[in-house]
Amino acid sequence: METLRDAASRLRRAEATSGSLVEAAFSAIEAREADLHSFLTLLPDAREAAEELDRARPEGAGPLYGIPYAAKDNLMTEGVRTTAASRILAEYVPPYSATAIERLTAQGALLLGKTNLDEFAMGSSTEHSAFGPSRNPIDPTRVPGGSSGGSAVAVAAGFTHYALGSETGGSVRQPAAFCGCVGLKPSYGRVSRYGLIAFASSLDQIGTLTRDVRDAAVVLAAIAGRDAHDQTSVQDAVPDYLGAISLGAKGLRFGVPQEYIGEGVAPAIRDEVLRAADLLEAQGLTRRDVRLPHTPYALDAYYIIAPAEASSNLARFDGMRYGPRAEGDDLLESYKSSRGEGFGAEVKRRILLGTYVLSAGYYDTYYLRAQRLRALLRQEFSAAFADVDVLLTPTTPTTAFEIGARVDDPLAMYMADALTIPANLAGLCAISVPGRPSEGLPVGLQLMAAPMREDVLLRAAAALEEVVR
């Protein structure tokens, strides 16, 4: 499928217009969207916007100029309905846009639509959307992954060249792995979270879904960097990521931690990781042994910390300021019925879990211990990154599962993120790159690098993409 960079060069050479790209996107959508359901909202005025961009195209327009993209529906878009796939925000139209969206707009990028997700980004299959599931374009009987499922579908089905998603515990990398595209989760603080509807603020990060690694570098460069609206966005200058990739990956050191290829990981996926490791070595990368013994506890810590933060972040949705209000006999009853009717089952489960682990008597047993574990994981990663530049692992323990297979089994659903969650807890950057498919289904290979080392991550990822082909 065509890359973003190829589309940009067609535009540059006047072989295409923004208008023709939008038409092509709409006809691809027309052909398959009824089966796949990747969008919650399509922007009807995208055609006019494209014509305007074509008219105003400046000399030396950047690589995103005039090219349509899709954004997960938990990113605020001024004047465009933003639902987080929840009934409680079903008709919400934000008065401003997320910084990442603003930056893309400023570079001439064209928003085509808002993509489906698990409600408030809580889930791994997009089945927890209040507006119905998305389906995997490779095999529509299977889930596309989640929570950025709609964004992964849009990119993998050929609707848009790239899409924005968000991550709290794997929600960009995991759907990328299931749908066969590239999913990048930047380091915590690399991209402003301003205008991203908060799930767990110490973990949330906006990420990209693209058709190759270089496109991920292009989109990351466009959205990264300090933003006065997000005090956790870092000051560091944004490196030249494409330039970094052009240095090649020879001499980089990598490790394949045993903890990520043991029990629970499908043998075909483990074999693909080991094959990739051999190929990287043959390309001149150096393999080192690394141990990450606390890995098995990451999932437990995440399912304490993320719900704890969610229970606080979601307190604002009470029927008073946003969304539909269910009237009750008094204020408390109105809150209760608005939340009771507005939130879906998984969101309620998270709020209850989070409230429980933060309550007096349980705080020390759960929340505090989870935070200690998070600190240990960070230390363990930073020790590992003294010996290696990147870690190579599977992105997910299995390939895409069937629709319905895990939706009533929260623990099985949570397991889908066991290998992606550690990077979120430690604030690392990480990427999923397609490996060789297994029984016709995409397999994701994950690379992780130290915080703020997207340059190294992308160099290794471009090499990986090249060798596994």
Q: Nearest distance from residue 294's CB to ligand GLN, in Å?
A: 19
Taking phi over 0 as left and psi of -120 to 50 as alpha, with beta for the rest, 145 belongs to: left
- Selecting among 18, 72, 125, 311, the annotated active-site residue is 72
The least CB distance from residue 151 to ligand GLN, in Å, is 12
Distance CA 399, CA 175 (A): 10
3-state helix, strand, coil in the chain (%, to 5): 45, 15, 45
Show the beta-strand stretches assigned E in 256-380. 286-288
Using DSSP, state whether 295 is helix, strand or coil: helix
| Dihedral angle sign, alpha carbons of residues 244, 247, 249, 251 | negative
In angstroms, the Cα distances linking 235 to 49, 194, 224, 238, 243 are: 33, 15, 10, 9, 20
Tokens 């055609």 correspond to what residue?
Answer: 47
The active-site residue, picked from 18, 134, 148, 171, is: 171
Q: Which is nearer to ligand GLN, 124 or 446 (CB)?
A: 124
Q: Which position has the token pair 């409680």?
A: 88
Name the residue nearer to ligand GLN (CB basis): 77 or 171. Answer: 171
Cα 275 off chain centre by = 26
Active site residue 250: no
**Residue 162: C-alpha distances to residues 2, 3, 16, 135, 231 (Å):** 11, 9, 17, 18, 27
- The smaller minimum CB distance to ligand GLN, of residues 121 and 252, is found at 121
Residues 6+ apart with CB under 8 A from 75: 82, 97, 98, 100, 101, 114, 164, 166, 195, 196, 197, 206
Give 46 or 421: the residue with its C-beta nearer to ligand GLN.
421
The two tokens of residue 375 are 């600190």
In the complex, which residues of this chain contact ligand GLN (CB under 6 A)? 121-124, 147, 167-171, 199, 306, 417
Name which of 118 and 455 has its Cβ closer to ligand GLN.
118
Is 147 assigned a catalytic role?
A: yes
**Residue (339 or 406) nearer to ligand GLN, CB:** 406
Smallest gap from Cβ 378 to ligand GLN, in A, equals 18
Active site residue 185: no
Q: CA nearest 443: which of 203, 272, 189?
A: 272
CB of 166 to ligand GLN, least distance (A): 6
Instruction: Report the nearest approach of ligand GLN to the CB of residue 127 (Å).
Output: 11
Annotated catalytic residue, options 18, 125, 134, 147: 147
| Min separation Cβ 435 and ligand GLN, Å | 21
Residues forming the active site: 72, 147, 171
